[in-house]
Chains A and B, each alone.
Chain A
Amino acid sequence: MTGFFIFLQSSSLYNLFTLRGVSADFILISICLTGFFLGPVPGEIFGFVAGFVLDVLGGGLLGISAFTYTLVGFGVGVAGRKVYSTSILISIVLIFVVTLVKAAVLGMLAAFFLKAGYFGYFSQGRIFLEVLLNCVIYPILYFLITKFERNISTQDAVHFNRYRQ
């Protein structure tokens, strides 16, 4: 799914999911879902790989996205173990916080390594549009996955839940 979202964000179809030039971060959403449902280790590994691939394809500072998404994947994995719930509200709060944390971490790293004024992302209000879009899309996918989790067979559930520990 993460690979699909990477391709999606690379394609011109991605322009359909933009709002005033800002788009939802599908990679972040997929990392959150991975970490939340499978645990912190899969979350951080997937986060690292996805972030690294993004850095390679994106051409920016190599490692910046890997660092950020690794942190996010681990954090969501830990939070998911503690507050595992099918509540939509929980998922909205989660993605809200995660999006802001991601933006903050990226901003600090960019400021430190690139001396870049990344904080313009905050001052222009673009971050809030991204938060809004993530809060709309994440619950939908969260809901679909929880439905999927309930419908799989017991054997698959055991296999599935093994990663959640």
Chain B
Amino acid sequence: MSDGKISHAKGVIILVILLFISFTTMGFSQTKFTIQFKSVLFSLVYPFQYIGVAPINLVKEFFTSIEDNRQLKVQLSQTKNLLQEYERTQYEFEELKRENERLRRVIGIQEQIEYDTVIAEVVAKSPQDFYKTLVVNRGRDSGVERYMPVIAYQNNVKCVVGKVTDVQRFSARIQPLVEQSSYVGAMLKSSRYSGILMGQSPLSELCLLQYMDKNAEMKYGDLIVTSGMGGVFPKGIAIGEVVSVSKKRYGIFQEAFVKPKIDFGRLEEVYIITKKEPEGPAEQSVIDGEADDSFVRGLEGRARAERKPLVEE
């Protein structure tokens, strides 16, 4: 027998043996012995597998980390852009939220006001210095009429703004109480002494409270409110605070300078009180020199009758 044939026969024998072993193992694979044997073999082989696989995984992780790094940079850039967008959205949201709260407050205030009102937005202010007016976006179509009183809320306080002096269909002009031709019936809240409040603009941003009884005790910080006389302004609406008092030695009246509670620079919304024309003694604004203020004239007459040389005290 040649070497080739012997070698071939050897190969066949080995083949048969190995196939037999494999086949037998398969046949007994579900037996307890085989399972345990497999388990033992696995525990022997596994460390080599772990050691062999680790370097390969390391190489793979090295190359994938390069790609991961590149992708992370892209994601970072995208995230930054997204963050900027979110910050813009957040800012807009905050703005909208503030606007919403403000409008809710306005609506809430309107519901609390015991009068019928029309909310109007201040859209413009007169550019002139010597004659100040406010322009609002409500007019005849919204029920606004001339001489209607106008109030506003600032710092949760209801305050006098002025009166409507001119009305168009969709807009109206308001004369503020600081305007020199504006007269409002006023009284000291604490003692209920009444007088007349007159604007002094452009000479001063303060109002002059005149014809206040000399017996009225006034001091710095006292609150001046509407007296309701004349029927234009409802009674009890805050006008301003006393900043200085001028009491003359002779005469029956005293005067005081009043700082309005309203900050006209921050005025955005006003409430126009929709009422009828005043029935009682009028406290109408003086426009173009014309006045129909019998109440004021009565007070002036009384002052002239008892006028004595004035000496500043």
Interfacial residues, chain A to chain B (CB-CB below 8 A): 3-4, 6-8, 10-13, 16, 39-41, 44-45, 48, 51-53, 55-57, 59, 61-64, 66-67, 70-71, 74, 77-78, 109, 113, 165
Contact = CB atoms under 8 A, between A and B. Distances in A.
18 contacts: A3-B52, A7-B52, A10-B52, A11-B57, A13-B60, A39-B11, A41-B14, A48-B21, A52-B22, A57-B42, A57-B49, A61-B26, A63-B23, A63-B29, A67-B22, A71-B15, A71-B19, A113-B26
B238 to A, nearest CB: 78
Interface in B48-91: 49, 52-53, 56-57, 59-60
Contacts of A53: 45
A109 B56 CA distance: 32
A59 B38 CA distance: 8
The interface size bin for chain B is 20 to 34
Interface of B: 3-4, 7-8, 10-11, 14-15, 18-19, 21-27, 29, 34, 38, 41-42, 45-46, 49, 52-53, 56-57, 59-60
A40 to B, nearest CB: 4
A10 B21 CA distance: 25
A51 B22 contact: yes
Contacts of B59: 13
A contact patch SS:
helix
Contacts of B3: 165
Contact of B21 (A3, A63, A109, A113): A63
Given A12-B60, A109-B26, A45 B18 contact: yes
Nearest to B34: A62
Contacts, number: 95
Contacts of B41: 56
A94 B60 CA distance: 31
B229 to A, nearest CB: 93
Nearest to A66: B22
Given A11-B60, A57-B45, A41 B27 contact: no
A11 B56 contact: yes
Contacts of B53: 7, 10-11
B79 to A, nearest CB: 27
Contacts of A165: 3-4, 7
A61 B22 CA distance: 10
A86 to B, nearest CB: 22
A70 B11 contact: no
A10 to B, nearest CB: 5
Contacts of A63: 21-26, 29
A149 to B, nearest CB: 20
A10 B49 contact: yes
A45 B56 contact: no
A71 B25 CA distance: 16
Nearest to A75: B15
Contacts of A59: 42
Given A56-B42, A57-B42, A62-B34, A13 B56 contact: yes
Given A44-B15, A70-B22, A74-B15, 15 more contacts: A6-B49, A6-B52, A7-B52, A10-B49, A11-B56, A13-B60, A40-B15, A53-B45, A55-B38, A61-B26, A63-B23, A71-B15, A71-B19, A113-B27, A165-B7
Nearest to B39: A56
B139 to A, nearest CB: 75
